[in-house]
Amino acid sequence: MSYIKTEDRGDIRIITLDNPPVNSLSYALSGELVPVVEAASADPKIKAVIFIGAGGQFSAGADINDFGTKPTAQTKTIRDVIAAVEKSEKTFVAAIEKMAFGGGFELALASDYRVALVDAKIGLPEIKIGLLPGAGGTQRLPRLIGAQDALDIMLKGRNVKMDEAKEKGIVDEVVTSNLLEAAIELANKGGKRRVSHKKPWLGKGLVDKALPFVVSQAHKLVPPEDNGGFAAHKLIDAVEASMELPFEFGLAREGRLFMELALSAPSAALRHVFFAERELSKIPDLPAAKPLDVKKAGVIGAGTMGTGIAITFAQAGIPVHVIDSNEAAVDRAKQTVMGMFMYQVQKGRMTQEEAWKLGQAVQFTDDYNELADADVVVEAVFENMDVKKEVFTKLDTIVKPEGILASNTSTLDIDEMASATKRPDKVIGLHFFVPANIMPLLEIVRGKDTSPETIATAFKLAKTLRKTAVLARNAFGFIGNRMIFDYSAAAGALAEEGVSPARIDAVAKKFGFPMGPFAMSDLSGVDVGWRILKERPDMAKSRSNVLNRLVEMNRLGQKTGAGYFTYDKNVGKGREPIPDPVVEALFAEEGKKAGIKPREVSDSEILERLLYALINRGAYLLEEGVAIRPGDIDIVYIYGYGFPPHRGGPMWYADEVGLKNVYDKVVAFGWQPAPLLKKLAESNGKFADLVTAKSPKGQGELTHA
Ligand code: NAD
């Protein structure tokens, strides 16, 4: 046997799950485990069985590599293992070290006793990939801790720590050491304490009669079924079944609901996102390189971005010096940094002492010499090439030769900045998103001379900073901002045809974006886009002149109380966009000047024009090699721009719509279709086909198959 080890201690059989790196309960492991459980059950010398994991951990659950494999009639799954446990007359104990997630936790739930090491975590995260716990979790957890608490854990897919687990009765015992000994003690107690035999209950202080209320509340709290809540509503149905049906019938209901989800579009999209994220660091043409350790960092510019980036470094334990010669900016930044850490104290996430220490990790100075021994310096000054080049030249003379010089530019040419230094191999783009300490995305931009070592260091740094990193090639706007540029242009064109910004935003929100294109522009600052276009007059032609008019009127967005919308301190804390007829009149005026006739536009056309603008540009970026894989673009849009994850990202969504349909519309809108889009549309292809024939999982070289 390769995935399981057994050992008898007297009349107790210890079954060790041994499937590195996370003891996943693969089909292969389950195939070995079922007969082992059956043999123990049939063995008169054996009184009890202990499940434990090898390598200091219990199990992370199902094996994601099995997702692409169709089970045959012979395939055994974790459900078969659990069925064998359920049938057995012996006592089962789960000894949990480090983690028991998904199917791993469901195996523990099917056992008679659960004992865990104090720093272990348990959870049922299936909802995150649009599924529900399908090996009895939705039936056993409510019986164990009550439906209300079980719903909270499963709907959030959150990790539960041992203090809570003990308090709620999820585990019987928590120990600080000698886990196996503690498990043996429980095994010796014997007896059958199957969760399946317990009577279902709603939760502490709740009478069974309250079930309809609890269920309807739960349905109200999750997103709508057709917009992000598909799995959540099914999960609630499964838990409701646990309260209403005998155990076996509830289990059957869970199985049916699970299958429905497994075959659903939202789950397919979420699984795509999950896999796409794992592909991100596979760079086809990058020779192996050893990343450098980043122990000390520098940031130039104490503005919105610089401050957020400095907080991000400090939180990851990397001390950082921030340079800005503008005193007012430094004062504001200091307040933001301290305010941020004190907020964490208020929320009970850290102690005063920890906050003070983190605050000390961010030092403000105007002396560049402090950066001499920095391993990486991120420049976040104004979006202006001359200013940036000056900063790079200066950094090049001061920072140690092996130090990496990075730019947080939104759109500017990394190679041109590199040309201002004698170390172009160590120059790279690190494009954070606002607010930098919260947004999970980091676009890493490689210049033509950026070395593999510098790229490898950037990826490692991203991990330390807890960011999801996507590699882009140097080009105007890289991936995200290049695409958002076309998206905003499409929104502006619609407004000039007489569609109100409020309606355009409402259509985007209905699709699942947290906000529409105009509210987004108001949030990041209308002048940000305007400044970018000042640097690139060639790109400005495709944009509505309303942008310039708003800047002339000092309508810069939320920060000035008005932009595409107006804002009122007393409405939604000054963040709620209020439609403004003045702006609609501006669009009408500019539209007229441009010879555009107002016309009726349907909601579906509004959506198509917004999304197909993203998709068509995405196809160009793939073709030009700015983005490596369609999945990389999807991740950028989901993590950086709020594209609804259950729709898989723009490129995944395009495949769902059908590329022929997208292409026909792109042509009908009068846009220049990307040659790649045309080619795929004509051959009935998909973006998802753009992975190598060498590896079904997309490793290795990318081919435009
Ligand atoms: P900001 O205007 O808030 O801050 C810029 C800061 O740089 C100011 O405090 C200014 O005093 C300082 N500065 C200017 N020249 C300097 C110099 N030579 N030396 C030291 N400090 C100098 O701007 P921001 O929004 O933080 O943007 C900074 C960079 O980040 C830009 O390149 C921008 O494109 C990029 N960016 C912005 C966003 C965003 O949404 N705001 C998002 C991603 C990237």
Atom of ligand 1 nearest to the CA of 307: 26
Phi, psi of 106 (to 5 degrees): -65, -35
User: Residue 531 has what pLDDT?
Assistant: 87
- How many Å lie between the centroid of ligand 1 and the Cα of residue 468? 22
Q: Is 576 a catalytic residue?
A: no
Nearest CA to ligand 1 atom 35: 409
**CB-based contact 701:284 (threshold 8 Å):** yes
Nearest CA to ligand 1 atom 10: 301
Give 650-658's long-range contacts (Cβ < 8 A, gap of 24+). 650/483, 650/611, 650/614, 650/615, 650/618, 651/615, 651/618, 651/687, 652/269, 652/272, 652/273, 652/687, 652/688, 653/269, 653/611, 653/615, 654/615, 654/618, 654/687, 655/686, 655/687, 655/688, 656/265, 656/269
Span 481-704 CATH architecture = Orthogonal Bundle (1.10)
Pocket test of ligand 1: the residue of 378, 390, 408 to mutate, having most ligand atoms within 8 Å of its CB, is 408
The tokens for 197 are 């035999």
Phi, psi of 475 (to 5 degrees): -165, 160
The domains of the chain are located at 4-263, 297-474, 481-704
The tokens for 489 are 């242009």
Give exposure, 368-392, as e/b (b: 16+ Cβ within 10 Å).
bebbeebbbbbbbbebeeeebbebb
User: Residue 69 has what pLDDT?
Assistant: 80
Please give, one letter per residue, the 3-state secondary structure of 511-531. HCCCCCHHHHHHHHCHHHHHH
Set 86, 89, 126, 354: catalytic member: 126
Q: Please, what are the averages of pLDDT over each run of 10 residues along the chain (705 residues)?
A: 94 98 96 98 98 97 85 93 98 98 98 98 97 97 97 97 98 98 97 94 92 96 95 98 97 97 95 95 90 97 96 97 95 94 92 92 96 98 94 98 97 97 98 95 98 97 98 97 95 97 98 97 91 84 89 95 96 93 97 94 98 98 97 98 97 98 97 97 95 42 34
Where does 4-263 sit in CATH, by number?
3.90.226.10
Q: Is 608 a catalytic residue?
A: no
Burial class (CB in 10 A: 0-12, 13-18, 19+), 599: exposed
Nearest CA to ligand 1 atom 11: 326
Set 32, 38, 106, 576: catalytic member: 106
How many alpha carbons fall within 13 Å on the CB side of residue 133?
34
User: Residue 533 has what pLDDT?
Assistant: 87
Pocket test of ligand 1: the residue of 322, 382, 389 to mutate, having most ligand atoms within 8 Å of its CB, is 382
C-alpha dihedral, 107 to 108 to 113 to 115, nearest 10°:
150
| Euclidean distance between CA atoms 517 and 520, whole angstroms | 5
- Ligand 1 pocket list (CB less than 6 A): 300-306, 323-326, 329, 380-383, 387, 391, 408-410, 432-434, 524, 528
**Which of 416, 409, 470 minimizes the C-alpha distance to 627?**
470
Q: Is 471 helix (H, G, I), strand (E, B) or coil?
A: strand
State pTM to two decimals: 0.93
CATH class of this structure's domain 297-474: alpha beta
Query: Which are the contacts of 687, defined by CB distance < 8 A and separation ≥ 6?
Result: 618, 619, 622, 630, 651, 652, 654, 655, 659, 680
What strand order describes the sheet that includes 441-446?
A: 362-365, 320-323, 297-300, 376-379, 404-407, 427-432, 441-446, 468-473
Phi, psi of 406 (to 5 degrees): -120, 155
C-alpha dihedral, 561 to 565 to 568 to 571, nearest 10°:
-140
The tokens for 83 are 């069925």
Q: How far is CA 458 from CA 281, 284, 293, 405, in A?
A: 11, 16, 10, 11
Pocket test of ligand 1: the residue of 300, 304, 639 to mutate, having most ligand atoms within 8 Å of its CB, is 304
